[in-house]
Structure 1
Amino acid sequence: MAQKAHPNILRPNCDLYKGSTYWNEPRFYYIISTINKLIESCCLGTTHYLNKITINRHFGFIIIEIDLIHLHFRSKGRFISRRFKENKKKVKKQSWTVVASRLHTAIKLIQKLSGSKKITLKINRLKSYTRSVPKPVRRQLMYFNKGFNRTRYDYARYGMQLIYLLMLKKANALTLSRFLTQNICSRQRRKRHYQFLAFIKQVFKALEPYRKITGLKIQIKGRFTHKAKGRSRSWKHQIGSIPLSQLDKNIQAQYVQTQTAYGSVGIKVWICS
């Protein structure tokens, strides 16, 4: 039986390769894929998510434009003075300072890899707070935001922010797949997988009146539960419709794989906008 084709292959948005004087086609795609991996690795372990990346070149110059989504744990109303920030000895691992220093190092590596004269990096950062989520949704998910549940549901605050942006077409499948991968591979015994998956369902149900996308589908399959003999389990959730057979529809697809304490897990995300 034939292998299924990737939905994005059947729906080409733009041709990346348009010819170059010093890059042939295989070298071009190798450099582009390496740049994508470097920029994505700069956001790992932080609250910054890579939403979109655009790479343009002109003669010996490379222009990289990235869209980042910055999710906040605390509300926007909390005010901290500049002097308090400057006198702090420790820098948070999830702060923008860490991401900026990583990007600065990544630019030097990209310049050596591509052999270009100059690299320009443009960053568009979209900040999101818990108060940006509608108040009726926050009331429905109030249990996950309580102080005594902060350790168990440490993903609740920035999870609802990310999914709300996704429903408003301000985030894509790459961002959601990274959020799912980050939380599924880090679950411990006190923070079980079925609690995280139940939270995902409740957030989509609460944000259904604000949906602007046509449909969304999530499929998680693998060994991510403490079942006997490590049997694999399949979990699916869908809202709206995903017309994969209609080539004129704009469908984003993202396939990723992660590891848990029980084995490997495959995550598939489809978004029809």
Structure 2
Amino acid sequence: MAQKAHPIILRHNNNFFQGCTHWDEPRLYFILYTIQKLIESCCLGTTHYLNTIKVNQYLGLIFIDIDLIHLHFRSKRRLKSRRYKENQIINKKQSWTVVACRLQSAIKLIQKFTKTKKITLRINRIKIYTRSIPKPVRRQMSYFTKSFNHIKYDYARYGMQLMYLIIKNKASVTSLTRFLKQNLCSRQRRKRHYQFLAYVKQGFQALQEYKKIQGLKIQIKGRFTHKAKGRSRIWKYQMGQMPISQLNKTIQAQYEQTQTGYGSVGLKIWICK
């Protein structure tokens, strides 16, 4: 029996590198991978997600175009107490200023190991709020966004915003993979895996009538539950069609692996646009 190939290995896919270069092929892939990981690390622990990245190199100059998704964890209509206003320094750790400072340091590192004269970084920020989601969807997901569930489902508000962008074909598979990965690898008791997966399933079902993509498929396999003897579990969700065998369809796919308190977990996500 033949081994299954990657779903995008034979498809025409837009690479995030554009332009000519003097680098040889192995060094080119290493530099592109390092640039992408540096930009991704600048968004860790913040409300910003890296959506797409494009690198262009010409005559000793490097142009980097990135699209960032800015999600909002808290509602602006929420009443702010005096103690909250006094501790605003703690809440500013997830702000855009932190991301901008990290990007400035990342540009200096890229300039050193690529040995280029000038690096230009263009940033396009996509902002989304909870009120931009349709009202029927917010009513169905209102239980997760209640004030008494804020600690238990702290991912509910910004997760709904990200799923809406995925459905509207405004976000890539990279953002969805990071969202699932950072919530599955948590070992805290308040982030139970089966509650999180039920939230993801209910969110996509509520947004199904607004979809502008052809299909979505998520597969999670590994040890992410407290089953006896550390047995692995498979969780699947599919919405719409996923014609992997048709080469004329545009499909984004990403495979990731993470660690939980019970063992390793593999993530597989496909989005047909």
Fold similarity call, TM over 0.5: yes
Alignment partners' CA distance in 2, 1:55 and 1:19 = 11
- Which residue of structure 2 aligns with residue 184 of structure 1? 184
Q: Is the deviation greater in 255-264 or in 89-98?
A: 89-98
Q: RMSD of the TM alignment (CA)? A: 2.1
CA contact (8 A) 1:72 1:128 kept: yes
Alignment partners' CA distance in 1, 2:150 and 2:187 = 14
After TM superposition, give the deviation of residue 105 of structure 1 in Å.
Answer: 0.6
1:142 aligns to what SS in structure 2?
coil
CA contact (8 A) 2:169 2:213 kept: yes
After TM superposition, give the deviation of residue 184 of structure 1 in Å.
Answer: 0.5
Matches for 1:151-190 after TM superposition, within 5 Å: 151-190=151-190
Alignment partners' CA distance in 2, 1:19 and 1:74 = 44
Matches for 1:80-99 after TM superposition, within 5 Å: 89-90=89-90, 92-99=92-99
Deviation string, structure 1 residues 152-174 (Cα, Å, up to 9, x no partner): 00000000000001000000111
Matches for 1:15-164 after TM superposition, within 5 Å: 16=17, 19-21=20-22, 23-76=23-76, 89-90=89-90, 92-164=92-164
Structure 1 residues 89 and 76, CA, compared in 2 at 3 Å: closer, same or farther? closer
CA contact (8 A) 2:183 2:191 kept: no
2:49 aligns to what SS in structure 1?
strand
Structure 1 residues 164 and 56, CA, compared in 2 at 3 Å: closer, same or farther? same
1:104 aligns to what SS in structure 2?
helix
Structure 1 residues 18 and 90, CA, compared in 2 at 3 Å: closer, same or farther? closer
After TM superposition, give the deviation of residue 212 of structure 1 in Å.
Answer: 0.5
Deviation string, structure 1 residues 164-216 (Cα, Å, up to 9, x no partner): 01000000111101000010011422331110000001101110110110000
- Which residue of structure 1 aligns with residue 272 of structure 2? 272
After TM superposition, give the deviation of residue 88 of structure 1 in Å.
Answer: 5.1
Structure 1 unaligned segments of length 5 or more: list them: none
Alignment partners' CA distance in 2, 1:74 and 1:244 = 38
- Which residue of structure 2 aligns with residue 246 of structure 1? 246
After TM superposition, give the deviation of residue 17 of structure 1 in Å.
Answer: 7.2
Structure 1 residues 241 and 18, CA, compared in 2 at 3 Å: closer, same or farther? same
2:97 aligns to what SS in structure 1?
helix
- Which residue of structure 2 aligns with residue 10 of structure 1? 10
Structure 2 unaligned segments of length 5 or more: list them: none
Aligned residue identity for 2:223: R
Q: Is the deviation greater in 2-11 or in 228-237?
A: 2-11
CA contact (8 A) 1:62 1:119 kept: yes
Aligned residue identity for 1:20: T
1:131 aligns to what SS in structure 2?
helix
| TM-score normalised by structure 2 residue count | 0.93
Structure 1 residues 134 and 60, CA, compared in 2 at 3 Å: closer, same or farther? same
2:92 aligns to what SS in structure 1?
coil
Alignment partners' CA distance in 1, 2:267 and 2:88 = 39
Alignment partners' CA distance in 2, 1:209 and 1:76 = 27
Identity %, equivalent residues? 69
- Which residue of structure 2 aligns with residue 208 of structure 1? 208
Deviation string, structure 1 residues 33-53 (Cα, Å, up to 9, x no partner): 110111111111111111000
Structure 1 residues 117 and 215, CA, compared in 2 at 3 Å: closer, same or farther? same
- Which residue of structure 2 aligns with residue 196 of structure 1? 196
Size of the aligned set, in residue pairs, is 269
1:222 aligns with 2:184: no
Alignment partners' CA distance in 1, 2:75 and 2:153 = 17
